[in-house]
Amino acid sequence: MTLSSWKKFTANISLHRVVVLLLIITVLYAARGMMNTILLTFIFTYLIVHWIRLVQRFIPKLPSIVIVLVTYILLILGLYYVVTDYLPMIVNQIAKMVDSLIKFYQSNDMNGVMKLINHYVSTRTIISQAKHGVTLAVNTLTSIGTLTISFVMSLILSFFYTIELKQMNEFSQLFLESKSLGWFFKDIYYFGKKFVNTFGVVLEAQFFIAICNTVLTLICLSFMHMPQIFALGLMVFILSLVPVAGVIISLIPLSMVAYSVGGFRYVVYIIIMILVIHALEAYVLNPKFMSSRTELPIFYTFVVLLVSEHLFGTWGLIVGVPIFTFLLDICDVKQIRKGSRNSQK
């Protein structure tokens, strides 16, 4: 590319913004294996930054570093409490459940059933299904382990970003003042600002959805006379904000507690409750809250959620509407409202 062509390219704002957008999409696609860490870091950083601004609105002279340190200390203490208080209870309930299953399969009635099954099902089929079950269990544990690592790394990255928030903003400003590639970084800032605006609106909607999930869960748990209902409700609320594997993670401890209260019958009740509540979330609450916050028709919101869930999996329910609204904005179809929350940087 000649010097004159390069100058024409950099002078054409629409053209180089399209190129920058395609480059961003390419980079994100190449880094799709780290998408959990990237999105969780973005969410944690977004929440902490807005928490800092909220606190400083009431206490203007309070340094942001103090707010960040206190927030993360309380968060770590909360996680420590959950692990030390609930993890032993879950392990104990798992041991009881395994012992009950062993006794159930060793009973005389079950021996007759197993003989009947063996008469019609070949041993090879049983072994094949057992191997498949073990593989599924290993993959599930691996996914949970990967998600845990992504969660921890996201907390660490968001902590380092917010603890030096002023320095980060000042240093990032230097990229925009670059003489040779300033246009490139300004385009990245342009797209980033618009996406943060749309994501902030959707994150607010997800917060209200988490509240609805928690209220419905607490009502069901109170009818089942579950112990420590408020602690369980807090756990459900926090996990409702986690878009990846949040349902599975909340189902496991709830099932363990339910088994200690009412046996397998209560475990079935919990599974049915989770299925109904999250079906309500996916097909009623998500479209309703998302459409009211983004000013999109419910039909469009519903279709976007279905397509994005198919393309991106569970994350699609979170990033699908922001991406769609973001594309509408940059295509000048529908502008983001300037008063659409304090999500502007």
Per-residue pLDDT reduced to its tens digit, 139-181: 555 666 777 788 888 899 999 998 988 888 888 888 888 888 8
The pLDDT confidence band at residue 287, using thresholds 50, 70 and 90, is: confident
pLDDT for residue 229 is more than 50: yes
pLDDT for residue 133 is more than 70: no
For residue 34, give the DSSP letter.
Answer: G
pLDDT for residue 93 is more than 50: yes
Question: Residue 254, Cα to own-chain centre: how many angstroms?
Answer: 19
Comparing 32 with 176, the larger pLDDT belongs to: 176
The pLDDT confidence band at residue 235, using thresholds 50, 70 and 90, is: confident
- Region 327-331: mean pLDDT is 81
pLDDT for residue 344 is more than 50: no
When mean pLDDT is compared across 11-15, 88-92, 212-216, 272-276, the lowest value belongs to: 88-92
Return the pLDDT at 218.
86
Percent of the chain with pLDDT over 90: 3
How far is CA 140 from each of CA 8, 11, 33, 129, rounded to the nearest angstrom? 53, 51, 17, 16
The pLDDT confidence band at residue 83, using thresholds 50, 70 and 90, is: confident
Let me know: does 202 contact 287? Beta carbons within 8 Å.
no
SS3 259: helix
Return the pLDDT at 341.
42
Return the pLDDT at 340.
43
| Three-class HEC string of 283-342 | HHHHHHHHHHHHCCCHHHHHHHHHHHHHHHHHHHHHHHHHHHHHHHHHCCCCCCCCCCCC
